[in-house]
Structure 1
Amino acid sequence: MRILHVLAQRPGRTGSGVFLQQLFKAGVEKKHQQAILAGVPVSEQKEDMTGFELNNFYPVLFETKELPFPVVGMSDVMPYKSTKYSDLNEQMFKLYEKEFKKVITQAVEEFKPDVVICNHIWLLSTFIKDLYPNLKVLTLCHGTDLRQLERAHQFVPLLKNKIPKCDYLFALNSAQAEEIKKLYNLPDSKVITSGSGYNPEMFFPIKREKNEKIQIVYVGKICNAKGVPHLIKAMENVKKYENIELNLIGNGTSKESNEIIKSIVTSKANIRYLGLVPQNELESILRYSDILVLPSFFEGLPLVVIEALASGAKVICTDLPGLDAFLGNELKELGAIRYVKMPRLKDIDKPFEEDIKSFEDELSEKIDELSSEILTNKKYNIQRVTELLKDKTWVGLFNRLEKLF
């Protein structure tokens, strides 16, 4: 098969970019012919395309005369300079649509794909269907696309009209699938719960010596919506914080990101900010970490949770919709993952002030609980955890998509 992978933003700096690259690699293993179309700054056209040889890359170039603004991001806080969809006026959108349609036409006419795998249920998939209504388009939801419906109101009528023309829409979990069907008035047969994936050659447990201090890691954007300020506060309230070290991995370019990073300096807890780290370094950090904490208020299906579990770390995570159902009860019974109750939210991802203290207290309690287990060498069946994750690899996900090619 000839597969065109498309993404409207940079392909190597976010979770959706990881999706694209890992599905591309799975396609390579299965001997498919593939190409990628993505939005990139004119100054960094190939910067994100690492780890494999790519001959068929079709970039949509931003910060040019034709598109004189930064790449538009699916989140309002991106880990690089970006434009918000909610800030696109009519003139900006016309330029955006024109450039994407120009490159889509070039890619389809030159590469001649049999199927398109489109990341995000958003504008890009509608552009493809406008130009090539008979070309099969499989569209992957990443969660941020659903959130943007509430932020970029100007695109809702267009999306409601055109998204149903896509051939299949894939949800990360069952709760998300129900939301997609309701939003776009789609039949059950058109919306499929595909889940997520991880690479077992990159994320796996090792035998290692006990850490001098319990190693806790957070991986993601440094922003309020990911709950990072509350994690910092919770770390200050754990009983034996002097025996624990928290490593924050990720970045952000907004004022709030800078304020969070500055707050680490004055925190009494042991916190290190590592910024963005290379993929091979992240793999090593997860293998040597004891606990991953993800206090996020909004996610589709967080890849890093699966990667951390596969690497031998235990996980503390907000009870994100659909995550428990995807991972299953046995991982909870084994003590591999602990959930923290999500606070009530306003404006999609902002907790009510009166709920913050109980949320931070529960985070502290869960960190104390897991830390005590680690300090007392409580038995942990990592082999069984690895067995339970076998069907959640990228190849497994690719196989589920491939059935519809």
Structure 2
Amino acid sequence: MKILHALAQRPGKTGSGVFLQQLFKAGFEKGYQQAVLAGVPLNEQEPGIDNLDMKNYYPVLFETSTLPFPVVGMSDVMPYKSTKYSELTKEMFNSYEKEFKKVITKAVEEFKPDVVICNHIWLLATFIKDLYPNLKVLALCHGTDLRQLERAFQFVDLVKEKIPRCDYFFALNSVQNEEIKRLYKLNDEQVITSGSGYNPKMFFPIKREKNKKIKITYVGKICNAKGVPHLINAFENVENCENMELNLIGNGTAKESDDIIKSVVISKANIRYLGLLPQKELEEILKYSDIFILPSFFEGLPLVVIEALASGAKVITTDLPGLDDFLGDELKELGAIRYIKMPRLKNLDTPFEEDIKEFENSIKRFIKEVSLEVISDKKYDIDKVIKLLEDKTWIGLFNRLEKLF
């Protein structure tokens, strides 16, 4: 059995890129022959995927004479220089389609895959089915692909017409499952809720001494849609915040990211902007974090929430659609995770101004509440947490996909 992993952007740099890396690793451990197709800039062709035979790597190169623009990103704010799908002109799209189809043809004719695991329910999946209608394609939803239907209007008709040709679709949660079926008029058998995954060999609790300061960590893009400005505002107003430190990990390319980072520099609170860190450093920071916080307004299913839970951090997050359902009530009952009520949104990821104060007050209240638990050394049963996360590993996710090969 041969698997071709496909992604229209850079591996390892975003959630979908981590999916590709980790599913490849799971496939390698189970003995599958595998290849990778991905969109990358000309000057950064190294895929960063362990055990990938480079003769089975098929890059679509951007910032070249044939694709003279940066990699096109599924989010409007990417952690690297990128182009928005909504910005693609007809000429740009024609070049984009031509280059991807050229590399798809090369990959399929040379590698001869039995199945394609395609990240995102979007254009790349339609290109593969255009060329090889009988090749089995499993399309993984990451949430950002559904958001593009409301951002890149010029592709909606094309995607809605051709996406149903894929064989199976995998949703991150039950809410997303229903949305995929509604948008693409699919039946229950075609859409499977597979969830997300984590690597228990990388993210696990350790025995450690109590931190001198309460360590609070945020990981994600540095942008408004992730609620980062509101986290900063709330943290600055928490009583005794001098006994806490807030670490912001991630980056972004838009002006709003620069403005947020500048606000950290001038803040009098103990906030550190650490940028985008290698996975090994992220592992260590999560293992020593008392609290992990994600005040995001839009996510598919945030990988880092599961990684933080597995590392032993208490988690505070917005009540993102499907997340509570995926993680279950027992984690809440154990005190491992708390949910902030999402403010009303005027669009996909922008809150109404009149709801912001209450939202920031909720963040502040939860930080104070959980911090008092940390100070009093009130812990939850970490062994029970790890047990509840057993089926949420990458191997577990790969096994769910494998049933449809």
- Please tell me the TM-score bracket, short chain as reference: over 0.9
Instruction: Tell me how far apart the structure 1 counterparts of residues 379 and 138 of structure 2 sit (CA, whole Å).
Output: 43
1:372-391 alignment to 2 at 5 Å? 372-391=372-391
Match of residue 60 from structure 1? 60
Give the stretch that moved more between structures: 59-68 or 378-387: 378-387
Secondary structure of residue in 1 paired with 2:105? helix
Q: Deviations over 1:183-213 (max 9, x none)?
A: 0111111111000000000000000000000
Q: Deviations over 1:257-280 (max 9, x none)?
A: 000000012222210000011111
Match of residue 401 from structure 1? 401
Instruction: Tell me how far apart the structure 1 counterparts of residues 102 and 186 of structure 2 sit (CA, whole Å).
Output: 29
Instruction: Tell me how far apart the structure 1 counterparts of residues 318 and 51 of structure 2 sit (CA, whole Å).
Output: 34
Match of residue 212 from structure 2? 212
Instruction: Tell me how far apart the structure 2 counterparts of residues 168 and 181 of structure 1 sit (CA, whole Å).
Output: 11
Instruction: Tell me how far apart the structure 2 counterparts of residues 205 and 339 of structure 1 sit (CA, whole Å).
Output: 22
Match of residue 341 from structure 1? 341
Match of residue 222 from structure 2? 222
Q: Does 1:142 align with 2:145?
A: no
Match of residue 48 from structure 2? 49
2:21–2:49 CA contact under 8 A, matched in 1:
no
TM superposition shift of 1:65: 0.6
Q: Does 1:131 align with 2:120?
A: no
1:54 to 1:295, Cα distance in 2 relative to 1, 3 A: farther
Q: So what's the TM-score if we normalise by structure 2?
A: 0.99
2:6–2:116 CA contact under 8 A, matched in 1:
yes
Secondary structure of residue in 1 paired with 2:43? helix
TM superposition shift of 1:231: 0.3
Q: Deviations over 1:243-298 (max 9, x none)?
A: 11000000011100000000012222210000011111110000000011000000
Report how many residues are paired.
404
Match of residue 102 from structure 1? 102
Instruction: Tell me how far apart the structure 2 counterparts of residues 51 and 129 of structure 1 sit (CA, whole Å).
Output: 28
Instruction: Tell me how far apart the structure 1 counterparts of residues 242 and 223 of structure 2 sit (CA, whole Å).
Output: 25
Which stretches of structure 1, 4 residues or longer, exceed 2 Å deviation after superposition?
50-55
Instruction: Tell me how far apart the structure 2 counterparts of residues 278 and 86 of structure 1 sit (CA, whole Å).
Output: 30
Give the stretch that moved more between structures: 228-237 or 50-59: 50-59
Secondary structure of residue in 1 paired with 2:68? coil
2:25–2:50 CA contact under 8 A, matched in 1:
no
TM superposition shift of 1:50: 4.3
Instruction: Tell me how far apart the structure 2 counterparts of residues 379 and 163 of structure 1 sit (CA, whole Å).
Output: 47
RMSD of aligned residue pairs (Cα, Å): 0.7
Instruction: Tell me how far apart the structure 1 counterparts of residues 268 and 365 of structure 2 sit (CA, whole Å).
Output: 18
1:20-39 alignment to 2 at 5 Å? 20-39=20-39
% identity of equivalent residues? 77
Give the stretch that moved more between structures: 251-260 or 53-62: 53-62
State the one-letter code of the partner of 1:339.
Y
Match of residue 319 from structure 1? 319
Instruction: Tell me how far apart the structure 1 counterparts of residues 25 and 116 of structure 2 sit (CA, whole Å).
Output: 16
Q: So what's the TM-score if we normalise by structure 1?
A: 0.99
Instruction: Tell me how far apart the structure 1 counterparts of residues 198 and 246 of structure 2 sit (CA, whole Å).
Output: 24
Match of residue 244 from structure 2? 244
Instruction: Tell me how far apart the structure 2 counterparts of residues 59 and 331 of structure 1 sit (CA, whole Å).
Output: 41
Structure 2: gaps of 5 or more residues = none
Secondary structure of residue in 2 paired with 1:239? coil
Give the stretch that moved more between structures: 288-297 or 264-273: 264-273
Secondary structure of residue in 2 paired with 1:43? coil
2:216–2:290 CA contact under 8 A, matched in 1:
yes
State the one-letter code of the partner of 1:49.
G
